[in-house]
Amino acid sequence: MTTSTPLLLVNLAAEAERKSAEVTNWPGRIAWVVGLALFVALVYWLMREGWKWRSTLQGDLPELPQAPGTAGEPKLTLSGRYHGSTTAHQWLDRIVARGLGTRSRAELTLTDAGLAVGRPGADDFFVPAGQLRGARLDKGIAGKVLTEGGLLVVTWEHGDRLIDSGFRSDRSTEHPAWVAALNDMIEQHDKQTEGAR
């Protein structure tokens, strides 16, 4: 046996030891996964509590009106999505009371009586013609940002609040016709109101 043989054996033993070293620290990984799951659960719980708190702050919002039985002939209809409501012209101040914070599919119907919003899976509501204040194309509302003009925003009065509600049609080419029809309806209603005084 030569002098290099013990060195070779030592090198082989060191190499075998390196190969057999623990590759995965399972207790450490499990602790990280559990910690991450707890963190996600905490964030979700805080968001839920914030939503409840916001709903409590907005508890003075009256019940949403329901569509009358005889609303009249539809002027326009729209199928799409309801993206939420905010305080008028404050696109990040979301309103969650009375179910207005629940995103859903939406069926809009505009009649002489007002705007009916049918929402499968959420509460329907109705905006009487006298409470409509304006309509415009916009690019965002709390929690949803689209391209410029991708969102139909209807401003309406409910109780002592002005509210912006955001809708997106399945066919966005319908948005300009809705803006024109709503603003024309509001202008006619304002003229009738002034004439009655």
CA distance 63 to 135: 22
* Tokens matching residue 127: 């905006």
The DSSP bridge partners found for residue 164 are 86, 155
Model pLDDT, residue 189: 83
Instruction: Quickly list DSSP for 69-118.
Output: S---S-SEEEEEEEEEEEETT-TT-EE-GGGTT--EEEEEEEETTEEEEE
Q: Which residue has the tokens 């410029």?
A: 148
Mean pLDDT in residue range 56-83: 85
CA distance 93 to 151: 17
DSSP label of 147: S
Please state the φ and ψ torsions of residue 32, each to the nearest 5 degrees: -65, -45
Task: Work out the average pLDDT over 10-18.
Answer: 63
Query: pTM here?
Result: 0.73
Torsion, Cα 57 123 141 86, to 10 degrees, reads -30
User: What is the mean predicted confidence (pLDDT) over 38-64?
Assistant: 85
pLDDT-derived band at 61 (thresholds 50, 70, 90) equals confident
Average pLDDT over residues 49-78: 82
98 contacts 64 by C-beta, under 8 angstroms: yes
Q: What angle do CA 165, 179, 130 make, to 5 degrees?
A: 65
Which among 134, 117, 106, 121 is positioned nearest to 64, based on CA atoms?
117
pLDDT of residue 27: 86
Give mean pLDDT, residues 115-125. 91
Alpha helices, DSSP H only, in the chain?
4-19, 26-57, 175-196
- The predicted pLDDT at position 15 comes to 67
